[in-house]
Chain A
């Protein structure tokens, strides 16, 4: 079934089974490998993308549901990797294995788009659906504060490369 939607600002048409999750369309049809598969059940958040600006788990979203929609993936978060969150992630050396971080960044950027100066509680609420098996949560929270320009005293974090 042909489905047309926008991916990172470019209109794309794919002809795939209607129930194929957006995740697999992105990864295996459009060759955008940044969005990750973790659980296939909206349990871990590794597959998070923006659907019309809202953080959405793409592993359980049939592609038919995105007809006409605007999808943004980690590859489209910024043209050159300079979104404040991407910069903060590097400055604070957030990633360990890095596998969940695309999903973390997409959830965090959706949060900042609606809540430019989030509190710890707002961050926790927005990010609790994103698992990090390496448990980089402390730096993720710090990174969101930094990208938001919130005044913080940081510790236990490194300087980026």
Chain B
């Protein structure tokens, strides 16, 4: 399973195999052995790394990317099966091991699986089908052009002959393979699988409790570990009562890990390894560690807020973008508005706590991990143990949620180090408290905004001093706001400047990173300006979009696509046409992120006592020409919308004395069933390549909810969570 040297080709490769069978390997853009070796041993036909067809006709498709609940283990194999032309229900789906040489990029992040794989994986499937047709044509001595396929079968209508894929594997293996760049893809009108709702391929196992997740991995001789790190980020273990811990029932090893300064890797702490996890955790209750807490112990959310206030009184440290003349436009305005917005750190709180199983031998390292970023983990393990990456194999397990947390592989470095030290296979499992207090948090942030509208109620200027976090001039992970971020280019006089608060808290990427906070700020302030200009919030937004150039830089927002979804969601929700009961209101917002265009309307009611009911959410999204798996896509939208409401309502990680205050779901609450509103979802198909679904539906629901609260109560929400404003669930 060790990845070999890259062998990049765009051609299929054919070779004879042992046992009388033949093997076809396409290396696509990739190249290696791995799965192909496995196919070779079994005598199966493997037109490429993603497909195996046995002489019995059994078809296996490898799913390349980590499945974290976003549905790629179903949707990516659908692309292959569509063009290979097989019955999806008869295909066996296996998760590939980490092997980027063989499969290309294998990460779950940035909603990239769909755009990156939409065409390459269909080409992989089409190559397999083309070879099946070529084999049949040769067997029957008929032109290739006269052959067609139905699922798993090649037909020659003229002579009324047919042959199953399985029966053709031996001949197919002798043929010259097609160039992937020129294989013929189906017309969309011919799709039988793409566009059809298909349940998750692991659903059977999920509902019967079969082992699937990282936490379920087990092996002979395996020990269990818990790892206590300093509550203060970056703190170091100086000493601990290790002898007492080693004397606890079931404990096999207890040791201090020196660790390094990089918070995304192996950090300092105390490992306890025992014959059960419960024994390790029980012993941990007796653990007494002397910590060197380090400089971060002086930091707190309160100190960050004070720093932000200090920065707001100054000129931004750097200019991100400056268009037109904001000062002049402010002076000339009919009305100006100023406001300060802020939002807290957030944890990911994947329901499956971080865990990893590692086996370290002289031959190398084998890792089983719920990770979103396996190759990065492999590199981290190599660095941590000081061994070549070629001796490390990573099994990608299903993840019990990801949301960006598992883009970092700190748990992998810990498990590898502990297993190596213990001299046995080890399953490391974090407690919920470990998980919540050692996350890579969604960054907090502060925005000082001012804006201007003219006598016609149109936006004429926008200024934002964004105070975020970072070191020197480097913005912390997930804490930036780019120069093209809306409302840039929608108003002639625009300025975005930023200042960085130095800090010691690890930050990272939470579902729709950046956007999940920026959308709240930008869309909420748009509402304030619309209100100041006595303009309907929908009309105000459409006016802003109308100001945008039709030609925009590649990868940035196309105004016409957003206008379309915004108008559609207004229509579907009855925006501006429905009479609202007292204490009930609607809010509207949109956001472009991860190549997706989403506009959303929230209807909410607030009682006199501040009890909030989110009645309904309407969503219209444009993610291109096709929805690969509508069931999965709807799941992502419903989940994203409820996730956003969950974040907005009561979630907050507070930093006190350099540590995270919250520790479990009692003080970091998730949305519950009784709080979940109905979600109406419509996909507006457009003539663009399909893009990802895991993230872009989340950001706009938060400002739409805040807009609804304003409409219901007159109370403007300028900081999150809502629970700080005397709002609670009804």
A residues near B (Cβ < 8 Å) are 16-17, 19-21, 24, 28-29, 31-41, 43-44, 46, 73-75, 77, 81, 85-86, 89-91, 93-102, 105, 123-125, 127-128, 130-141, 156-161
Contacts and interface: CB of A to CB of B under 8 A. Distances in A.
11 contacts: A34-B210, A38-B351, A41-B432, A73-B209, A90-B199, A95-B200, A97-B399, A128-B674, A132-B351, A134-B643, A136-B638
A139 B635 contact: yes
Given A102-B209, A158-B199, A24 B278 contact: yes
B679 interface: yes
A133 to B, nearest CB: 4
Contact of A98 (B212, B353, B429, B632): B212
B719 interface: no
Nearest to B348: A133
Contacts of A85: 207
Contacts of A21: 278
A75 B211 CA distance: 11
Contact of B666 (A33, A41, A86, A90): A41
Contacts of A16: 276, 278
A31 to B, nearest CB: 7
Interface stretch (B124-132, B213-221, B233-241): B213-221
Given A41-B664, A93-B199, 19 more contacts: A17-B278, A28-B278, A31-B218, A36-B352, A38-B353, A43-B666, A46-B351, A96-B636, A97-B68, A97-B350, A99-B69, A133-B403, A135-B671, A137-B672, A137-B676, A139-B635, A156-B638, A159-B199, A160-B203
B662 interface: no
From B89, B279, B351, B680, residue with most partner A Cβ within 10 Å: B351
Contacts of A28: 224, 276-278
A77 to B, nearest CB: 8
Contacts of A74: 207-209
B401 A133 contact: yes
Nearest to A95: B206
B207 A161 contact: no
A138 B674 CA distance: 10
Interface of B: 67-71, 74, 88-89, 197-204, 206-213, 215-216, 218, 224, 249, 276-279, 282, 349-353, 398-403, 429, 431-432, 629-632, 634-636, 638-639, 641-643, 646, 664-666, 670-674, 676, 678-681
Contact of B200 (A36, A124, A161): A161
A71 to B, nearest CB: 13
A35 B209 CA distance: 7
Contacts of A139: 635, 638
B389 to A, nearest CB: 28
B208 A75 contact: yes
A10 B69 CA distance: 33
Contacts of A98: 69, 200, 202-203, 206, 212, 398, 400
B665 A158 contact: no
Contacts of B89: 161
B589 to A, nearest CB: 19
Contact of A95 (B198, B203, B630, B680): B203
B531 to A, nearest CB: 31
Contacts of B401: 97, 99, 133-134
A40 B69 contact: no
A102 B438 CA distance: 27
Given A39-B664, A98-B212, A44 B351 contact: yes
A128 B204 CA distance: 24
A101 B206 contact: yes
Contacts of B665: 39, 41, 43-44, 131
Contacts of B276: 16, 20, 24, 28-29
B641 to A, nearest CB: 8
A137 B198 CA distance: 19
B129 to A, nearest CB: 22
Nearest to B432: A39
A128 B71 CA distance: 25
Given A133-B401, A161-B201, A138 B638 contact: yes
Contacts of B69: 95-99, 134
Given A43-B664, A99-B400, A158 B197 contact: yes
Contact of B673 (A137, A160, A161): A137
Contacts, number: 221
Contacts of B216: 33
B203 A33 contact: no
Contacts of A41: 432, 664-666
Nearest to A80: B208
B355 to A, nearest CB: 9
Contacts of B207: 74, 81, 85-86, 89-90, 95, 101, 105
A152 B673 CA distance: 18
Contacts of B641: 135
A15 to B, nearest CB: 12
Nearest to B205: A98
Contacts of A86: 207-208
Nearest to A160: B199
Nearest to B206: A98
Contacts of A131: 351, 665, 670, 672
A158 B629 contact: yes
Nearest to B278: A24
A22 to B, nearest CB: 11
A156 B679 contact: yes
Nearest to A157: B631
Contact of A90 (B204, B277, B402): B204
Nearest to A21: B278
A157 B630 CA distance: 8
B209 A93 contact: no
B661 to A, nearest CB: 16
A38 B673 CA distance: 17
A26 to B, nearest CB: 10
B603 to A, nearest CB: 16
A87 B678 CA distance: 23
Contact of A40 (B432, B632, B638, B673): B432
A96 B400 contact: no
B678 A138 contact: yes
A46 B206 CA distance: 13
A135 B398 contact: no
A128 B672 contact: yes
Identify the 3 closest CB pairs spanning chains A and B, nearest first. Answer: A158-B631, A34-B209, A97-B69
A85 B207 CA distance: 9
Contacts of A125: 674
Contact of B634 (A77, A101, A156): A156
A156 B224 contact: no
Given A28-B276, A41-B432, A99-B401, A124 B197 contact: no
Contact of A135 (B201, B204, B249, B639): B639
A31 B71 CA distance: 27
A37 to B, nearest CB: 7
A155 B711 CA distance: 29
Nearest to A35: B209
A108 B401 CA distance: 22
Contact of A36 (B210, B215, B349, B674): B215
Contact of B643 (A77, A99, A135): A135
Nearest to A74: B209
A101 B204 CA distance: 11
Given A89-B207, A97-B398, A37 B635 contact: no
Contacts of A32: 209
Nearest to A24: B278
A126 to B, nearest CB: 9
A128 B309 CA distance: 40
A136 B639 contact: yes
Contact of A138 (B206, B632, B676): B676
